[in-house]
Amino acid sequence: MKKTITLGHGSGGRLMHQLIEDLRLQLSNKILDELADAAEFKIGNRKLALSTDSYVVKPLFFPGGDIGKLAVCGTVNDLAMKGAKPIYLSLAFIIEDGFELAQFKKIVNSIKQAARQAQVLVVTGDIKVVEKGAADGIFINTAGIGVIDYPASLGVKAKLGDFIVINGGIAEHGMAILNARENLEFSSTGIKSDCRHLNFSVQRCLKASKKISMMRDLTRGGLATVLNEIAQGSNLGIEVDQQAIPIKKSVSKMCDVLGFDPLYVANEGKFICFVNQKDAPKVIKVLGKQARIVGRVTSSHKREVYLTTKIGAQRILPMLESDQLPRIC
C-alpha cells in the first residue's frame, strides 16, 4: 500500500511532528531550525518576526468568532509568542466556485474588525477560485510581520525553575467548534470560542517582567501537547497541577459527557508564559483574574510532563499519536 498523508498528520500529535521534522530536515537553515511559532531574524537595524498559518475551520461561523477573525488572531498570536508586535498581514483566499458572496463579505468584515482591534494592517493579498468540489467553501492563509523590541530573545526553551502561567480557562475553542459543527445539544451552555488577539496581553507581560524565557499559544493539540513539545525542546521536565488549570464548568461538563480530555482540546485565545518564579505574580497581575500558575519546570523526569491529578496522584501526560475523535480543527 502506498504511504499517504492522513488527517492524523494535521492534528498536532506525534504524526504531525514527524512530518514537520522531515520538512525541516529538507529545507534546513538556522532560522527554520528553531521551529518556533514565528521565525526571527534581523533586517537592517531591527529584529523582525515572520509567521504563517492556513485556516480551514468548519463551520466557518461559530459562537465567538468565524474563520476571518481566526485568520487574523491566529497569526497575530503566533507573532506575539515571539515577543513581536504584529504590524502587517498578508491575506490569501482559496474559494470554491459557487461560494456565496454574502458569506465572503461577512468574513471580510470580520477580518476588518479583528485587524482593527489587534492594530495590524492587511497590506497585500491574493484570491484564487477553484472548481466546485476542489475546496470546502473557503480557506484563508495569513502571514504576518512583527517587530521585536524585547531586549532578550524569547526563545523556544523553558528554563529550570520557571513557573508556568496560563491566561485563562482551557478547551473553549475546540468545544465551541464541535458544538456548532455537530449540532449538539449543548447550546444552552453558552460555550463560545475564546478566539482573540493576544498581542496586547503579551506586551503587558513583557513589560511586567524581564525574566520571561518563552511563551506559547495553546492551539492544535491543546495544553498537554504544547507542554510535551516544550519539555522535549528544553530537555527538562514539566510538572502541572490539574487542580490549578482553569476551565469553565460548562466546558468541563461537555468534555466529560463526550469523553474528551480538555487538556488536548484546542484553544484560540490562551497562552502559557514561562517566567522566573519570583516574577510569576507580576505576570498574573497583568493578565487579570482568570490567570493561574499551573505548573513548573523541573530537572527530574526530563522530556516528560507529569500531571498531579485532582486526587493527588501523579501520572505521565503523554503526547497523543494523532487526534482525539471526533476531530476538531
Binding status of residue 111 toward a second copy by CB under 8 A: yes
Closest CB to a second copy among residues 98, 288: 98
For a second copy, the closer CB: 11 or 234: 11
- Greatest distance between any 2 Cα atoms in the chain: 57
C-alpha 234/C-alpha 299 separation (Å) is 10
Query: With respect to a second copy, which residue has the nearer C-beta, 23 or 316?
Result: 23
* 38 versus 224: smaller Cβ distance to a second copy: 38
Least separation in angstroms between CB 211 and a second copy: 26
Q: What is the dihedral of CA 102, 60, 143, 211, to 10 degrees?
A: 130
Min. distance of Cβ 50 from a second copy in angstroms?
6
The answer to whether 47 and 64 have CB atoms below 8 angstroms apart is: no
Nearer to a second copy, 162 or 217 (CB): 217
Site string for a second copy, 137-176 (x = CB under 8 A): --x-x-x-x-x-----------------------------
104 binds a second copy (CB under 8 A): yes
Say how far apart CA 5 and CA 15 lie, in whole Å.
Answer: 9
- Note whether 119 binds a second copy by CB under 8 A: no
Contacts of 185 (CB under 8 A, 6+ apart): none
Degrees, nearest 5: CA angle 116-287-148: 60
Cβ(37)–Cβ(51) below 8 Å: yes
Cell 465567538 sits on residue = 64
Of the two residues 105 and 285, which places its CB atom closer to a second copy in the complex?
Answer: 105
Q: Per-residue x/- mask for a second copy, residues 235 to 274, rule CB under 8 A?
A: ----------------------------------------
Residue pair 159/298 in contact (Cβ under 8 Å)? The answer is no
Which DSSP string corresponds to 285-296?
Answer: HHH-TT-EEEEE
d(CA 52, CA 105): 23
Q: Per CB under 8 A, does 133 bind a second copy? A: yes
104 vs 281 by CB, closer to a second copy:
104
User: What is the distance between the alpha carbons of residues 282 and 102, in angstroms, rounded to a whole number?
Assistant: 46
Count the residues in the chain.
329
For 8, 68, 115, 190, 247, the CA distances from 54, given in Å and listed in that order, are 17, 11, 16, 27, 27
Binders of a second copy among 2-61, rule CB under 8 A?
A: 2-11, 16, 19-20, 22-23, 26-27, 29, 31-32, 36, 38-39, 41, 43-46, 48, 50-54, 56
Among the listed residues 59, 128, 210, 326, the single contact to a second copy using CB under 8 A: 128
Q: Residues 21, 77, 119, 123: which binds a second copy (CB under 8 A)? A: 123
CA-CA-CA-CA torsion sign (60, 65, 71, 74): negative
Residues numbered 182 to 221 that lie near a second copy (CB under 8 A) are none
**Residue numbers 58-87 binding a second copy by CB under 8 A:** 87
Pick the binder of a second copy from 21, 59, 119, 134 (CB under 8 A). Answer: 134
Q: According to the binding rule CB under 8 A, does residue 288 interact with a second copy?
A: no
Instruction: Between 77 and 167, name the residue whose CB sits nearer to a second copy.
Output: 77
